[in-house]
Amino acid sequence: MRRNKLILSSTLAGLLLTSAGVAVAAKGPGGGPPSPDHMFERLDLNKDGEITREEAETAREQRFQAADTNGDGLLSREEMTAAREARAAERQDRRFAKLDTNEDGLLSPEEMAAGPRGERRAGMFDRVDENGDGKITRAEAEAMHQRMQERRGER
């Protein structure tokens, strides 16, 4: 099952990247690959749960046309930058809406801590605090730094 999800995700990511064309490839949260849900939202134009080649091509053309603000059929660096910034603002708005659980238009420290990044930060603290005493020593921080370097192949 996990392998099938990985294959589907990889296939859809490839489809999205090739169909996004020159207009700029979409990225998922945190700059990683887009999720299948996000890809289907963008590419399954008739919302039937399947993406046809025609839908992928139409979505690519629509993204290009939306980025081509002067309508000359070409994208300038400025148009690409503006399109990228508009998508980033949309992503930020979606993230904000997910975190703003009481829908007051403001984020409290509690809402931020409850979000996915807050959970990752809490998990990171626990991983660094090897002896579980609620404190991070210099030795624990250095050990974590070394493990991260080794994972990246820096040592």
Residues 6+ apart with CB under 8 A from 151: none
**CB neighbourhood size of 120 (10 A):** 11
| Average of per-residue pLDDT across 27-31 | 50
* Backbone dihedral angles phi then psi of residue 144, each to the nearest 5 degrees: -65, -40
Residue type, 128: V
Average pLDDT over residues 23-43: 64
What letter does residue 114 receive in the DSSP assignment?
H
Residue 26's pLDDT is: 47
Contact (CB, 8 A) for 107 and 99:
yes
Q: What percent of the chain has pLDDT over 90?
A: 30
Question: What pTM does this model have?
Answer: 0.50
| Residue (of 10, 24, 13, 19) closest to 87 by Cα position | 24
Q: Where are the domains of the chain?
A: 2-99, 115-151
Mean pLDDT across the chain, nearest whole number? 78
- Structure confidence at residue 42 (pLDDT): 85
Identify residue 76 by its one-letter amino acid code: S
